[in-house]
Amino acid sequence: MTTTVVRTRSSASFLALVPHLLECTPRASLVVVPFADGQSSGAMRVDLPRGGQREAESVASTVIGMACKVASTDAIVPIVYTDEPLSGDGDLPERHLVDEVLARAGICGLRVLDALVVGPDAWGCYLDPSDASRGRLSDIAAAAAEIPEDLPGTDQFSAAALPTVDDETTRALVAVLRDVDDLLSTPGARRRLPLGRRARADEVAALVADPPALFEKALTADRVTASMTAALAFCLERPLLRDVALMQWAVNAARGDAVLDAQTAFGIGGPFPEDLARPMWGEGARPDPARLRTALDLCRATAAALPAERRPGALSACAWLAWAQGRSSHAATYAEEALRIDAQHGLSTIMLSLLDAGRLPEWVFERPTSRGGRGSSRGSRGR
């Protein structure tokens, strides 16, 4: 995969790049873009604090701590996205929060290349808060037109919404899953099924019989069939098979086989190898981002096709896959939805605990060498 380098010549062009780094257009957010030697290939986002000065201090400490964990970071650009207008005689919105961020950046030896705010009516600069430094939103839109990708139009929450699936597709999926459950658990059930239903159930059961082969086939297929979706739904409802899928999608097919063997041995009293479990907790080598993105799309589509009461397994897989990509807001959305359906759901509870503690996978803080847009703010020159 080739690296796309995007050079920015102004604060407006830098702001046009930020949604590409986040893969969403943020709202009510503090974004911090870490730089190493004048380049950045990522960004981190948190909700704006609403609890006063103490929460602002906590948020500032958290985001600067996260920026410091990114390899070779020597500078940052904080950006506030607010619903408050920038027009008027008062100071820029969220000034106290940005001051806390700048103070902690200084303590950690990080240069501040720029400090920006985007409101509903304009954008501005905290380092030069005069009216002359404020710009029009049309400046950002014009700069975005020069970036060689479509600008993400969804915010950090709507981007996590499940795709729309018609009721007929959901009814057909539930029906075949019911037949597969009977086929695998009830002696003689296969003989009692009508031929058409038996053929569909047999096809899904054959896919389920070799989970790693299913997971890899679904990940690489040009088109995911209804039978593959049903087989994925069957597996994602079962924690043992769901975890095999997640570890396989994070690494490769061989890892899926190894985890399935280890899960089987563990079920009869054997030890579970620590090296196979480490990626589940965000430790180890960086997964292939393309595999994670495709797997998340698979799980989102599977969750959307299921009725709400059967979604927690697929939603928890979505939560882990989003978390593995550093998308903590999306991960929380999926985990919270799963827990609204099943308040005791295991992996969803674990994911929310990790997110509440501000924990992200170790590999999120590594700098990728082969992906994405890179930019510099106007402050990276002469400051």
The domain segmentation of the chain, as residue ranges, is 11-156+376-380, 167-343
Q: What is the pLDDT of residue 331?
A: 93
How does DSSP assign 19-72, residue by residue?
Answer: HHHHTS--SSEEEEEEEBTTB-S--EEEEPP-S-HHHHHHHHHHHHHHHHHSTT
pLDDT score recorded for residue 150: 61
Choose among 20, 40, 18: nearest CA to 31.
Answer: 18
Residues 6+ positions from 220 with CB-CB distance below 8 Å: none
Beta-carbon contacts of residue 259 (< 8 Å; ≥ 6 apart) = 243, 244, 247, 248, 276
**Which residue stretches of the chain have pLDDT < 70?**
1-9, 41, 131-133, 148-157, 367-383
317: left (phi over 0), alpha (psi -120 to 50) or beta: alpha
Question: Rounded to an integer, what distance in angstroms lies between the CA atom of residue 306 and that of residue 374?
Answer: 39
Q: Is 251 helix (H, G, I), strand (E, B) or coil?
A: coil
Q: Which tokens in the block code for residue 154?
A: 């969804």
Q: At what angle do helices 195-208 and 226-236 cross, to 10 degrees?
A: 60
Distance of CA 76 to the CA centre of its chain: 22
Contact 64, 32 (CB under 8 A): yes
Q: Containing H/E element for 77?
A: strand 75-81
pTM of the model: 0.80
| DSSP 8-state class, residue 372 | S
Cβ-contact 67, 46 below 8 angstroms: no
CA distance 360 to 62: 12
**What helix, strand, coil percent values describe the chain, rounded to 5?**
55, 10, 35
C-alpha to C-alpha distance for 326 and 282, rounded to whole angstroms? 10
Q: What is the CATH number of domain 11-156+376-380?
A: 3.40.140
What are the pLDDT digits (tens) for 32-46?
Answer: 999 988 888 688 899
Backbone torsions φ then ψ of 300, nearest 5 degrees: -65, -45
Q: Which contacts (CB < 8 Å, 24+ apart) does range 191-197 have?
A: none
What confidence score (pLDDT) does residue 2 get? 32
The pair phi, psi for residue 116, each rounded to 5°, is -125, 160
At residue 74, the pLDDT reads 93
C-alpha distances (whole Å) from 360 to each of 236, 260, 370 are 23, 25, 21
